[in-house]
Structure formats: C-alpha cells, structure tokens
Amino acid sequence: MRSLFILLYTIIIVSCNSKIEYIQRCSTATEIISIGDDEIIDDNLVQNADFIFLDNSFIIGEIGRMIFFDNKIFLHDNITDRVIVYTHDGNYLFHIDNKGRGPNEYLEIADFAIDRNSNSILIYDSKRHKILTYSIYSRSFTSEQVINFYPTKIACVDDLLYFYNPYTFNYPKNNKYHYSLISTSKNAKIRAKYFNVNTKIGNFLSNPNTQGFFYGDDITFLNRFESIIYKIGEDSLYASCMVDFLGNENLEKALLDAVDKGTRNTDLFNQYSTEITNYCETDKLIAFQYTRNELLYYVVYSKEDKNLLYHSSYLKLYSESLLIKNIPFFIIPQMSHENMFISILPSQLVESFVNNPKFNSEMKKNMSDEVLISRLEDVKKDDNPILVMYSFNEKIN
C-alpha cells in the first residue's frame, strides 16, 4: 500500500527576532479515498432538494465564488465583475460595483472573501494588488490594504487571511514568495508560508485548479497538481482528505514531462493527471469532480462507511425516481452549506428541458409539487441560474 504519510511544511514566526524557522512535521489525512476503475451509479443517491430562484434584478453572467453567510448569499459575477448579495431565499439585497482607478475602486476582482468577525466583504483586486473592505451592514466601503505579492485567490479564517499563490514568475529574483499558500494578518503582515514551489513548476502557466479554496461549513485548500485537501482552522492547516488515484505514482513523471514540453496537453499528462475541482463535504459525505483522459468524473464518498456511493463520468440529469421526489434535475454539487450540497442549475438548461414535450409530460406525470412545476415553466434562458440544495442518501441501495 502506498504510504499515507503526508509531509506538511509549516513556518513558525519567532516574535523575539522576526526570524523565520522552517519546521517539518508529519501528519495523516483523516479520510483516504481510493479511486480505481469501478463505475458506481445510483439514481436514488439524492434524497431531497430545495430550490432557490435568484431575483432577476441583476442578471448574472457567470457565477464565480459563492459564499453563504448570515442567511445571505454572496456571489461574484465573473462577467460583470461585481459582487451581488441575496437573501437566503434569493431576494436581491445589494451589490458592489465600484470599478475604476479612483479611490475606493477596483480594476479587477480576482476573488472575494467574508470576514465573519467584522461582518465585512473583502474584495481582492489583482490588478492593483490590494484588498478593499466593505461593511455588510452599512453596505459601504470602509478601508483598503495593499499587499506586496501577487496571489490569485483569497480566503479569511478568523483573524487571518490566506492567499493562493501558485506561480513564481512574478518573483524572478526573490524566492521569498515562492510558496503556494501564504497566511497574513489583517494588515497583510506575513505570518506563515506553506508548500514551497519549485521554480520550474511555478513558471508553468497551466493551472486546472483555479479555485484554490473550497467553501462549505469549513474552508479547505487544494494545492495545484495535488490530490490532498487541507482544512484551514484557527491558525492551523492539516490534511483532511487524500484522494488516492490509480496510477498516482506516475503523476510526477507526467507533470515534469508536461512542464518540459510547455503544455499540459501530452499523452502522459492526460493519462495520469487527476485535476480535482468542486470539492465539498458534509458531516458524513464528500463530493468532488476530477478530470482524467479528458473525461469529467463525478464522485460521492461516505465518510461513515469508507466507500464510494457514486463514481462515473456519466451523469443522468433526470430520472423517474428523481421526479417522484420532486427533483426535476440532478447536477453534481459545487459546494456545501449546513450539511446540504449546493449545485448551480443554468436557466438555459431548465428552459430547454421544460420545453421538451417528453420531459414536460414526465415532469407533470411524476411530480406532485405544482408550485415548483409552475416556477420551472416560467424560467427563461436569460434568467439567473437556480441554486439547488441537495441532501444525499448516505448508504448504497
């Protein structure tokens, strides 16, 4: 069996002389998920679903980061580059759209986070390398902070900021920032750095894992080209889950081959790379997607029974067994909140299915929720997407 020990590199800052000492320690992942070739499909995986129809006051181009906090939904629209806030029921509350070069403005939102202690929205402007803070309650700008490095994503846990910093080409003469995860205080003073980045790999632009941080009731982190998920706690980082893919021992060779050739589109890399996305978990389940051989696979894993409940590149969008439960569609989740998995259902998909005579007939025949049927029939392709909150069966039928 492959060794399950994972080396974590931490940095402790010694306050008496500001010296940074590197300490190496060992840890084991709480969950080990073994992924082989077996295909597992279960139409009865989904137990029930709630639907959140987002208000169309502001049409969303593409949902990027989405965070649930204080009975509100915060999301970044990648197309219009603004943060929009809704109630938990999907009613519009307010938005932040301060794009520009002036004071209190941003040029590009690379990411945003929520500071739960101060009830603030933190917007990271990657063009001007600064963090703008907005009060959730007053819905107004409060402050900004310049940072001295060039990360791609941001997260806030307690009183610390975490930055995903996968590239080294921004620092050709200074390896001080050659770490893919950097933790700072609120005033951007560096407190810890994790995962030293090899310069050759750090200059490799391919990055399938653009998210870095995954949101649920906890915030987790995934380093690019890795299959170990780390949970970020109060001033701590520990291995929470390791996905043990078949052929994982060949990944390093495949990665170096791709780096040497300057492209991830190589036979070796396509065969052995496993690009995890949309990792999310509840108390008893873990769900994620991964790509191998240009196929997207869907995984649901039971933490209680230590086995896979779903593993396939095939996803059946609807079935009679789901319709009977008043679940018209099943989309593999992208995040979790309060022990529910959350998916984003595109309005274009809803309109095309509902307008299909066969599906419409089956929907009306099997579903008993007439209010939901009516709302789905009213959806137009240019409407905002629908958020679906699922709970899953925790046992294989």
What's the mean pLDDT in 379-391? 95
- What's the CA gap between 292 and 309, in Å, rounded? 19
Q: Which of 155, 153, 133, 135 is closest to 144 using CA atoms? A: 133
On whether residue 45 sits in a domain, the answer given is: yes
**Which CATH number do you get for residue 86?**
2.120.10.30
Task: Provide the 10 A C-beta neighbour count for residue 268.
Answer: 16
DSSP 385: P
Which residue, chain included where needed, has tokens 């020990």? Answer: 5
- What's the CA gap between 35 and 244, in Å, rounded? 6
CB of 81 closer than 8 Å to CB of 92: no
Is 129 exposed, middle or buried, given 0-12, 13-18 or 19+ CB atoms closer than 10 A?
middle
Residue 255 three-state SS:
helix
> pLDDT at position 269, please?
78
Q: 31-35 and 236-245: which strand pairing?
A: parallel
Residue 221: which pLDDT band, with cuts at 50, 70 and 90?
very high
On whether residue 188 sits in a domain, the answer given is: yes
On whether residue 366 sits in a domain, the answer given is: yes
To which H or E segment does residue 348 belong? helix 347-354
pLDDT digits (tens, 9 = 90+) for 38-49: 899 887 888 899
- Six token digits for residue 274: 């496993």
Q: Which of 280, 371, 391, 325 is closest to 53 using CA atoms? A: 371
CB of 183 closer than 8 Å to CB of 193: yes
Domain that holds residue 323: 5-392
- What's the CA gap between 368 and 370, in Å, rounded? 6
Q: Total structural domains in the chain? A: 1
- Six token digits for residue 330: 């099943």
> pLDDT at position 298, please?
94
pLDDT exceeds 70 at position 13: no
On whether residue 271 sits in a domain, the answer given is: yes
pLDDT exceeds 80 at position 394: no
Q: Which of 128, 179, 122 is closest to 155 using CA atoms? A: 122
* Lowest-confidence segment of 144-148, 220-224, 267-271 by average pLDDT: 267-271
On whether residue 397 sits in a domain, the answer given is: no
Which residues are bridge partners to 35 per DSSP?
245
Residue 50 three-state SS:
strand
pLDDT digits (tens, 9 = 90+) for 319-376: 898 999 999 988 889 999 999 999 999 999 999 999 999 999 999 999 999 999 999 9
* Lowest-confidence segment of 57-61, 133-137, 180-184, 250-254 by average pLDDT: 250-254
Residue 5: which pLDDT band, with cuts at 50, 70 and 90?
very low
> pLDDT at position 311, please?
94
Radius of gyration of the chain (CA): 22
Residue 176 three-state SS:
helix
What rounded mean pLDDT belongs to the chain?
87
On whether residue 43 sits in a domain, the answer given is: yes
pLDDT digits (tens, 9 = 90+) for 78-136: 999 999 999 999 999 999 999 998 888 999 999 999 999 999 999 999 999 999 999 99
> pLDDT at position 286, please?
95
- Beta strands (DSSP E) in 127-188 are 130-135, 140-146, 153-157, 160-164, 179-184
Residue 141: which pLDDT band, with cuts at 50, 70 and 90?
very high
- What's the CA gap between 328 and 321, in Å, rounded? 10
> pLDDT at position 397, please?
54
- Return the amino acid letter for 73: I
- Return the amino acid letter for 201: I
On whether residue 123 sits in a domain, the answer given is: yes
- Beta strands (DSSP E) in 14-99 are 20-28, 31-35, 46-53, 63-69, 72-77, 82-87, 92-96
- What's the CA gap between 80 and 97, in Å, rounded? 9
Residue 6: which pLDDT band, with cuts at 50, 70 and 90?
very low
> pLDDT at position 207, please?
56
On whether residue 74 sits in a domain, the answer given is: yes
